[in-house]
Structure 1
Amino acid sequence: MNINAWREKFLLNEDLNFLLTNRIPRVAATRFMGWFSRIRSPVLTRLSIAVWRLFTDLDLSEAKQQRFESLRDCFTRELKPGLRPFEPDLAVLCSPSDAIVGACGPIDGTDVLQAKGFPYPLQELLGSQAMAQRMQGGRYTTLRLTSAMYHRFHAPHALAVDRVTYISGDTWNVNPIALKRVERLFCKNERAVIECRLPTLGDAPLILVPVAAVLVASIRLHWLNILLHLRWPGPNVIPCSARMAKGEEMGWFEHGSTIIVLTPPGLVPVAGIESGVRIHAGQALFQQRTADATALACPG
């Protein structure tokens, strides 16, 4: 059996996959990965990457650097310039990251879906009923970053960040197998709730929720200059005032994970954006409805 066939067999064996990625001391394993990934040893790093490739389709051909001093350097790698251009149209909101689109749909009640048949309360995810109510009538989109993907995420539109709420928690795997088995998984895991406004879209609200997972050692948000990790008790509310241009780098995960994007009313998915589709950072994700775009361009 070649390596690709073996990898596929492992990934498709749901019981084995769930056992090996969830029925372990998840928090301890995640803290260990945080320590291990920082060991600066080119030899150990090359060996670790070789083992990593046994389980994923890791492709480093787009990386700006081809030699890494530590596994963390590989996880958080930059790409060669120009590989993730952001759609410049002001009526378009882009994907903040490379990802596989997961559950998505309108926010027309108190619950949204993590997988078919597995709803979770938006209020519980955000830690705020007022915040959940503010997003009513908008849409949610779940973006899953696999461990092999580019792990940095960017501003999907020109935006202002007003507040970050860091919520410490568990580190369940966030792959589809776990999402079908663990209720309210996103509400249990470590996450950062990033409250934003879209100045060029009438200060409409936008919320990004990076959700950590097993082996994700930390979440870095550049404008805070703070490394958010499991040793923080939570929730921690961090007021801030940061403006970012469309496509500007916001931060990174130190492994694969998920970003939940909550968009305001008036934005609709572009054609072809649906569950299971692979997308790149900068690719058009939502666009204004024609009537909304006209009203914004011609106020009054």
Structure 2
Amino acid sequence: MQPVSIIKGSIQLAGLLFQPNITSGSLPGVVVIHPGGGVKEQTASVYAERLSHAGYVTIAFDASHQGDSGGLPYHLEDPNARTLDASAVVDYLERLDIVDSERIVVLGICAGGGHAVAAATGDHRIKAAAIVSAVNIGDSNRLGWYGNETAASKIGGLDAAAERIRNESTGAEPGVINYVPQVNDTSAPPDLQDAADYYLTARAQHPNAQNIMLDRSMPLLLNYDAFAFAEAYFTQPLLIIAGEQADSRWHSEKLAEILDDRDNVRKVIVPGGRHMDFYDIEEYVGPAVQQITDFFRGI
């Protein structure tokens, strides 16, 4: 593994390159997209490292405005920028002599899964995609974590965000939102209680994952749909992995339904699995990595 810097226009993305112990040849490349609120050192690196052992050149990277990457304002969650980040990493992989530019694929976890779909929908240099515990971050903000709310119910939140952004423009501190609840907040959905245990405890806590995003993110998120044009333009092979017991499973089911006429889409629902199990619990990560490896080998 080695740190790398990836140029995306005026922004430098911080990445971690995982490469097999091979110095020549033409290997497949994998863009690994981290979850919302996460950074490259967490579950994205778990998958990137494991896939490199299977013969893939992989890059886990921090999104624009987050982690060690550039882009102002810091802590902005800009889903359109996240989609473009993936294409910038494809650019980087294409320039590596060891990578076969016709065998570059994308893997995304949680919100990174939604971004992986959006990236592959528009960038057909990406030859296949795999998504794990996928979340369409636009839908999750519009419809709630369970998917049972209405988009119109978020108008008040937009109005409140607008007021805080206005105050910021006149000198107030930027307003921020938490990605996950506090540990032991039993009022939160079970997936998000599990996420608090992952991000806010020694289990996977990282100083660059501070559990905050700017209020300015909310208008961007509510106006974003990772699956918007998948029916028309997503043509590549797709592997969907989700836990049977995950509150977020509806995102995976929705995408599978959008693409239900495709014979190159494979959906795997793992018995007993919850959303966060696929981040670092070997019982779920190990088989997921094997399924992803086998799926990408067929590309």
Bin the TM-score by the shorter chain. Answer: under 0.3
Higher relative contact order (CA 8 A, sep 6+): 1
TM-score under structure 1 normalisation? Answer: 0.23
Q: Would you tell me which structure has more strand in proportion to its own residues?
A: 1
TM-score under structure 2 normalisation? Answer: 0.23
